[in-house]
Amino acid sequence: MTDIDVPSGIAARTETPAPGDPRLARLSLNQKTVDRWSLQEAVDACVQHGVPAIGVWREPVAAVGLATAVRMVGDSGLRVSSLCRGGFFTAADPAEQDRAHDENRRALDEAAALGAACLVLVPGGLPAADRDLRGARGRVGGCGRTARATRLDTGVRLAIEPMHPIFAADRGVVSTLAQALDIAEPLPSEAVGVAVDTFHVWWEPGVEEQIARAAGRIASYQVCEWITPLPPDALLSRGMMGDGHIDFGHLSRCVADAGYRGDVEVEIFNADVWAADGHAVLDTLARRYVELVEPHV
Amino acid sequence: MTDIDVPSGIAARTETPAPGDPRLARLSLNQKTVDRWSLQEAVDACVQHGVPAIGVWREPVAAVGLATAVRMVGDSGLRVSSLCRGGFFTAADPAEQDRAHDENRRALDEAAALGAACLVLVPGGLPAADRDLRGARGRVGGCGRTARATRLDTGVRLAIEPMHPIFAADRGVVSTLAQALDIAEPLPSEAVGVAVDTFHVWWEPGVEEQIARAAGRIASYQVCEWITPLPPDALLSRGMMGDGHIDFGHLSRCVADAGYRGDVEVEIFNADVWAADGHAVLDTLARRYVELVEPHV
């Protein structure tokens, strides 16, 4: 469980950084962390708290319409560190693959309009009643087709996201950063990178070597925590940095050593975090970020 | 969820194999699958259902006393495919390591008395408030000390069990079969093998190559299922074969190709399975085993 209202020892030692604090210069709020808020509410809160970037999701963008979303974000002066999400390459049926590709093209257009640094790609899970994991993994190579649909002039990179093996069946068959890099490396690095999310990769044997291997390919760095006991809904099992088992200093130094200089997104899917007051969540995550992540990244 | 009382399509097509059916010759019931039963109840049920082997746990053995447990098992004529469990090598404190080692020596003695084919080793999780995963993984090499405590004349092998990354923080820092083999290979194969559990390794990239690499080292083959949505308690998240996403034919053929000829244990930690009637569970697992596993192993 996370301590939004009752700060833990960690939070108690650190004052909430004020807007303009240079330590916040690379912090980004992924919208999913404040899932109840509309895009406008999330944008306004970032401005209010001095968080200079936001990772947005397609659904809340669609809720207001792309043109309005572009204007909201543009008026705010926030950077858009990512658009979540495209991908879903694992369908065995060619017609379904085509539908996913069309959806990915639309997502790329939206990312370009929003000025997003990257489009995060969720690989997709096993098709219904299909137990051929190797086959599904092979089809993620289909992201090469999406890569060919990127326009380098828009500056939007694809970010293949390896996902924790807890999601291998139903969400992301790419289970390690090593696999994601195997897929990305044959493709141009200007078009295709990887998303390094601490929740997904912290357990990976040799993750340090894989992050080093990802130099020039890290399109997104996302932080959130592995907590125990794992919350009951696997999809909402992520924690606030500092409440669990991940060594954020260690992984952040690896990412920095690999040359990553982009925004650092906090993306937390957690029912308790979602139920808490969004402003309290932003205060806590800014404190945890400046204490645990920022000195190392 | 699993279908104990209402057989699924799979179970409906297969008759429950009768005691003496040669397809049951290598089936073993891990006691944890019928968690509410005492050792005597589990032993009696195996005999009644024609399951010729059992994987026993230390706690129910201790509940009746080792001598009684040895007599129960001996009288039944069942093979003991494994004793669960030893291990827990990750303590940073030398005194705690010594306590774990003493416990492992006792477990080895019990395994020898019971005639168990192997002692399953759970690696252990991160020590409290310790985020050094690499350090904890390094300490699992301490199983070499346990290996030196084995007596080859007893026939008990150690079986290092790689555990699904869902357990990396709190139970088993060895997350892949590749890591388990890295630890086992410097040690004599008569003393130290690995446990291949489908639930733990089905997602592992290159698991086929790792199972082939494990030839001569597979001390235990355990089957249970990865189901979605994942049940709320991560520790009880395993399913009945056929209810989820694992290709048991594929993995079982890999294990057979690696030369494994031992018992095949069904080990299911699941609240619904535990709540069901044990005899119904045994009927279902025997059907699923002869349909999904036995033809391939």
The ipTM estimated for the assembled molecules is 0.94
For B207-233, the pLDDT digits (tens) are: 999 999 999 999 999 999 999 999 999
| Topology (CATH) of A9-296 | TIM Barrel (3.20.20)
Helices and strands in chain A, H and E counts: 13, 10
Q: Give residue limits of the domains in chain A.
A: 9-296
**Shortest CA gap B163–chain A (Å):** 11
**Shortest CA gap B19–chain A (Å):** 31
Q: Using the CB atoms, write b or e for B254-285: b if 16+ within 10 Å.
A: bbeebebebbbbbbbbbebbbebebeebbbbb
- % pLDDT > 70, chain B: 96
Mean pLDDT across B100-127: 97
CB contact under 8 A, A166 and B230: yes
pTM beyond 0.80: yes
> E strands within chain B?
27-30, 53-57, 79-87, 118-122, 157-160, 192-197, 218-223, 225-226, 238-239, 264-266
> E strands within A97-249?
118-122, 157-160, 192-197, 218-223, 225-226, 238-239
Average pLDDT taken over every residue of chain B: 94
Interface of B with A (CB under 8 A): 126, 131-134, 137, 164-166, 168-170, 175-176, 178-179, 202-205, 208, 226, 228-230, 232-234, 244-247, 250
Residue with tokens 């008759």: B15
CB contact under 8 A, A169 and B205: no
**Shortest CA gap B243–chain A (Å):** 10
**Element containing residue A209 per DSSP (H, E):** helix A207-213
Q: Which of A203, A208, A229 sits opposite B175 (nearest CB)?
A: A203
List of chain B residues whose C-beta atoms are within 8 Å of the C-beta of residue A162? none
CB contact under 8 A, B133 and A247: yes
Q: Cβ neighbours of residue B214 under 8 Å, at least 6 residues apart?
A: B177, B181, B193, B194, B196, B258
Q: Which of A137, A169, A176 sits opposite B245 (nearest CB)?
A: A169
List of chain B residues whose C-beta atoms are within 8 Å of the C-beta of residue A175? 203-205
How would you class B65 by CB atoms within 10 Å of its CB: exposed for 0-12, middle for 13-18, buried for 19 or more? exposed
CB contact under 8 A, B175 and A232: no
pLDDT of residue A160: 98
Whether the predicted pLDDT of B134 surpasses 60: yes
| Topology (CATH) of B26-296 | TIM Barrel (3.20.20)
Distance of CA B46 to the CA centre of its chain: 17
pLDDT of residue B9: 44
Q: Which of B168, B233, B244 sits opposite A203 (nearest CB)?
A: B168
pLDDT of residue B194: 98
**Banded pLDDT at B13 (limits 50, 70, 90):** low
Residue with tokens 């639309």: A106
Torsion of CA B144, B146, B152, B154, to 10 degrees: -160
**Shortest CA gap B222–chain A (Å):** 18
Mean pLDDT across B274-284: 96
| Residue A110 near residue A66, CB atoms below 8 Å | yes
β-partners of residue B267 are none
Whether the predicted pLDDT of B8 surpasses 50: no
| Residue A124 near residue A173, CB atoms below 8 Å | yes
pLDDT of residue A142: 85
For B147-178, the pLDDT digits (tens) are: 999 988 898 999 999 999 999 999 999 999 99
Whole-angstrom Cα distance, residue A141 to residue B50?
47
Whether the predicted pLDDT of B42 surpasses 50: yes
CB contact under 8 A, B230 and A226: no
> E strands within chain A?
27-30, 53-57, 79-87, 118-122, 157-160, 192-197, 218-223, 225-226, 238-239, 264-266
Whole-angstrom Cα distance, residue B108 to residue B146?
9
Residues of chain A with pLDDT under 70: 1-13
CB contact under 8 A, B176 and A229: no
**Banded pLDDT at B12 (limits 50, 70, 90):** low
CB contact under 8 A, A245 and B165: no
**Shortest CA gap A265–chain B (Å):** 21
Neighbours of A73 (CB within 10 A): 23
CB contact under 8 A, A164 and B164: no
